[in-house]
Structure 1
Amino acid sequence: MTRLNLFAPEVRENPYPFYAALRRESPVCQVDPNGMWVVTRYDDIVAAFKNTQVFSSAGLRVASEPPYLRRDNPLSRSLLLADPPRHGQLRSLINRAFTAATVASLEPQMRSTAAQLVDQLVQRRAADFLSDLALRAQVSVLARLIGFDSALERHFKRWTTDLVSVGAVSPEDHARLDEVRRTIDEMEQYMLGLLASRRRKMENDLVSELLRSRTDDDGTTDQDLVALLFLLLVAGLETAIALMTQMVLILAQRPTWMDRLRAEPALIPRFIDEVLRFEPPVHATMRLTLAETELGGTRLPAHAVVALLIGSGLRDETKFQEADRFNPERRDQANLAFGHGAHFCLGVFLAKTQARVMLEELLRRCHRVALGADRLEWNVFLNTRCPMALPIEVVPASSPATRESPVVQGIW
């Protein structure tokens, strides 16, 4: 039997029929690239998330810091690649600084930025939603949240792209490896300088809160804080951009939902939750088995690289009725889109708030959103699945009444 290649163009374009076949026939099996193992059923994915003693995050540090990189990568020291108890220590530090109240305080800026970007879209009638709206909106809020110099915003996408591609760079591609090393040097130097600056003068930003939150006995170092800032930038940018892009793609494919959401704004949170289920921004997350184990009736060897296919688990027909149908009114809302258990993503409230604000501003100003291309090109990162670009065309709202923001009763 030929092994499925997760990077094959037809799989990237529409992986869900392939995932369904795996769930039926080989729910835990080996695939390409490199013969990694995949877990495709919802309950098995949850079981792996819970079993941190066997399914290790820390064991995968080599993927973000391969020997041929020839330097350390602060992202490999972040809580993303940490197991308990170290994960809990790092998580506690960021939890004290990054709260729901912090995100709520950013909403006015989010709305102002989204309104400006959508106004520009309406004037032009066409744009690449990913680069012209989603990227610019999230870069703006992350710069304000974390405390980065706004002049660096144009570098953020390059920084994140270089970091997430480390494991995919060939050891023979010396030019690309040099680019990645320069990016890590540039980021690390900037963030160490930012910490020093905030020690001299605290500001109203996350870097200052991280410094205030440290205690004498928590064992954290400046390198730990730099690792957290690397993670916040990479995860905060990639996840929110993918969520907003998939949201607008779904609106373009299902245009009547724009009318429905304008008429029933209370459905907006559930609409976004269904986007997260139907097209999760984090499509897979990686683990390394520390010992031989059994999962889903299959024996996994020790030191096996395992991809928990969240995108498959969220289409599991044993967990969700009509799993392949986009239905914001569904009652089975169990969601793995932001992880599970100890590794549940701390940026969930930020990403959902940004998506909600962008959606509300689109509903105010646009009657319809349509695709501006016959076919989309998809990225080739294992962890995320998102179009490389999303060209759209819009029909402006026809009545001044539609420019009033929908009032949402409650948030998430």
Structure 2
Amino acid sequence: MSRLNLFSPEVRENPYPFYAALRRESPVCQVDPSGMWAVTRYDDIVAAFKNTQVFSSAGLRVASEPPHLQRHNPLSDSLILADPPRHSQLRNLIGRAFTASTVSSLEPRMRFKAAQLVDEMAQRRTVDFVNDFAYRAQIDALVQLLGFDPSLQDNFQRWTTDILSVAAIPPDDQRRLGEVRSTIDEMERYMKDLLVARRRQPGNDLVSDLLRSRVNDGVLTDEDLMGFLFLLFVAGLETAVTLMTHLALILARLPAWMDRLREEPALAPHFIEETLRFEPPVHATMRLTLTETELGGVRLPAHAVVALLVGAGLRDETKFHDPDRFYPERCAQANLAFGHGAHFCIGGLLARAQARVVLEELLLRCRRLQLRAERLAWNLSLNTRCPLALPIEVTPT
């Protein structure tokens, strides 16, 4: 088998047959870009997640801050790039401010915005779900959560796209690299000003809560705060948008489920969990081996960049019966969609809550969603897999 390129158009369009071939023939092997090591079996991915002493989260720095970026990326200072014990300290400090009650307090606003956007779609009939609904819904939620200036909403999608595209930019594409560097400069200036303003006058938002966060006399430094704001904004926006988009795409491709969920609303949580398994919002995550090690019967050298292909692990035939079938009634519990162990995604609460609200409002206000494109164009990212646009026709109830 020739070396698989994770960024090739045919892989981005439908990676799952390629993943299945890797699980059968080379479950731990080198792939492009850059000859990184891909891990495709569920048990091997879990083993790497658990073994933080060998599989370091510093591997993510390769994606967020490659040498050719020639600029520090504050995302690299976030807890997602920290190993224990530093990771535990950061997570405890942040966890005191970002709680289930924090997410619950956002639900009325999320429901209001979702209802408003679904009604707009129903009036227009044919829309791009990604840009007309998903981004607008999640940006509104993050504005409420973080206390960001809503007048800057038009910038937020560009910020996220630029930060997440870093790993896919070739070293010789100086124009694109310059755009990303400018975006990081812009984000840093805005967030530094926001921290100064909240220190001076705290508000009813997560940034103010983070500034007050203390655990065992610990305190979040400005670098910690900046890293978490970059992480929550970028990852919180992209993962929720990806989840909402795949919910809509599945409803469009399997229209009988709209009727089924209206008849059996108790299935809705299982529908969301199966969506997370079938098309996980975190499609892959990176690790760096600190020592030579063995995984899946393959010797990995020290300092190897390892891609844990969560999207492949969640289609593993040894863990899920008929894994390429979308089947909410399987009630799958073994879900890696938001990571595993110490690095279980703190923003998963927000993404699941937003997905539930959006699904409920779609079922209430829409009879059908119909896909209006023969082929979809997909984003270029190591971490997420989402259509760039999702043209659908909405039939209101």
Same fold by TM (over 0.5)? yes
- 1:141 partnered with 2:137: no
Distance (Å, rounded) in 2 between the aligned partners of 1:21 and 1:68: 33
What's the CA shift string for 1:187-244, capped at 9, x where partnerless?
A: 1111111111111111110000001113684253112101110000001000000000
Q: Which residue is 2:10 aligned to? A: 10
Distance (Å, rounded) in 1 between the aligned partners of 2:364 and 2:134: 17
SS at match of 2:376: coil
Contact conserved, 2:372 with 2:391, CA < 8 A, in 1? yes
Greater Cα offset, 41-50 or 64-73: 64-73
Distance (Å, rounded) in 1 between the aligned partners of 2:24 and 2:123: 49
Q: Which residue is 2:360 aligned to? A: 360
Q: Which residue is 1:408 aligned to? A: none
Q: Which residue is 1:230 aligned to? A: 230
Q: Which residue is 1:98 aligned to? A: 98
Q: CA offset at residue 65 of structure 1? A: 2.1
Q: CA offset at residue 69 of structure 1? A: 2.6
Distance (Å, rounded) in 2 between the aligned partners of 1:214 and 1:191: 21
Partner AA of 2:239 in structure 1: T
SS at match of 1:235: helix
Show the 5 A alignment for 1:120-135.
Answer: 120-135=120-135
What's the CA shift string for 1:49-70, capped at 9, x where partnerless?
A: 0000111112442432233333
Distance (Å, rounded) in 2 between the aligned partners of 1:206 and 1:150: 15
Q: Which residue is 2:166 aligned to? A: 166
SS at match of 2:29: strand
Show the 5 A alignment for 1:394-405.
Answer: 394-397=394-397
Q: CA offset at residue 175 of structure 1? A: 2.1
Distance (Å, rounded) in 2 between the aligned partners of 1:247 and 1:219: 39
Distance (Å, rounded) in 2 between the aligned partners of 1:68 and 1:390: 32
Q: Which residue is 2:342 aligned to? A: 342
Distance (Å, rounded) in 2 between the aligned partners of 1:332 and 1:135: 28
| Structure-2-length-normalised TM-score | 0.98
Distance (Å, rounded) in 2 between the aligned partners of 1:317 and 1:215: 43
Q: CA offset at residue 268 of structure 1? A: 0.6
- 1:180 partnered with 2:180: yes
Distance (Å, rounded) in 2 between the aligned partners of 1:28 and 1:212: 44
Distance (Å, rounded) in 2 between the aligned partners of 1:184 and 1:340: 29
Distance (Å, rounded) in 2 between the aligned partners of 1:295 and 1:117: 46
Contact conserved, 2:338 with 2:345, CA < 8 A, in 1? yes
Partner AA of 1:354 in structure 2: Q
Q: Which residue is 1:193 aligned to? A: 193
Q: Which residue is 1:203 aligned to? A: 203
SS at match of 1:29: strand
Partner AA of 1:370 in structure 2: Q
- 1:45 partnered with 2:32: no
Greater Cα offset, 52-61 or 93-102: 52-61
| Percentage of matched positions with identical amino acids | 73
Partner AA of 2:238 in structure 1: E
What's the CA shift string for 1:264-303, capped at 9, x where partnerless?
A: 1111111000000011111110011111100111111111
Partner AA of 1:99 in structure 2: T
What's the CA shift string for 1:143-186, capped at 9, x where partnerless?
A: 11011111111111111111112233233222222211111111
Distance (Å, rounded) in 1 between the aligned partners of 2:150 and 2:137: 13
Q: CA offset at residue 35 of structure 1? A: 1.3
Q: Which residue is 1:401 aligned to? A: none
SS at match of 1:172: coil
Q: Which residue is 2:317 aligned to? A: 317
Distance (Å, rounded) in 2 between the aligned partners of 1:221 and 1:111: 34
Distance (Å, rounded) in 2 between the aligned partners of 1:6 and 1:182: 27
Gapped runs of 5+ residues in structure 1?
398-412
Distance (Å, rounded) in 1 between the aligned partners of 2:62 and 2:264: 48
Q: Which residue is 2:383 aligned to? A: 383
Contact conserved, 2:60 with 2:285, CA < 8 A, in 1? no
Aligned Cα RMSD in Å?
1.2
Show the 5 A alignment for 1:249-268.
Answer: 249-268=249-268
Distance (Å, rounded) in 1 between the aligned partners of 2:355 and 2:332: 21
Distance (Å, rounded) in 2 between the aligned partners of 1:278 and 1:242: 12
Contact conserved, 2:274 with 2:331, CA < 8 A, in 1? no
Distance (Å, rounded) in 1 between the aligned partners of 2:171 and 2:26: 32
Partner AA of 2:10 in structure 1: E
Partner AA of 1:362 in structure 2: L
Gapped runs of 5+ residues in structure 2?
none
Q: Which residue is 1:406 aligned to? A: none
Greater Cα offset, 172-181 or 211-220: 211-220
Greater Cα offset, 207-216 or 261-270: 207-216
What's the CA shift string for 1:289-331, capped at 9, x where partnerless?
A: 1111001111111111111010010011100111111111104
SS at match of 2:96: helix
What's the CA shift string for 1:24-81, capped at 9, x where partnerless?
A: 1111111122211111110000000000011111244243223333321110111111
Show the 5 A alignment for 1:225-304.
Answer: 225-304=225-304
SS at match of 1:329: helix
Distance (Å, rounded) in 2 between the aligned partners of 1:358 and 1:266: 15
Partner AA of 1:52 in structure 2: T
Partner AA of 2:110 in structure 1: M
Distance (Å, rounded) in 2 between the aligned partners of 1:324 and 1:360: 25
How many residue pairs get aligned? The number is: 397
Q: CA offset at residue 12 of structure 1? A: 1.1
Distance (Å, rounded) in 1 between the aligned partners of 2:216 and 2:92: 14
Partner AA of 1:265 in structure 2: P
Q: Which residue is 1:68 aligned to? A: 68
Q: Which residue is 2:108 aligned to? A: 108
Distance (Å, rounded) in 1 between the aligned partners of 2:24 and 2:170: 34
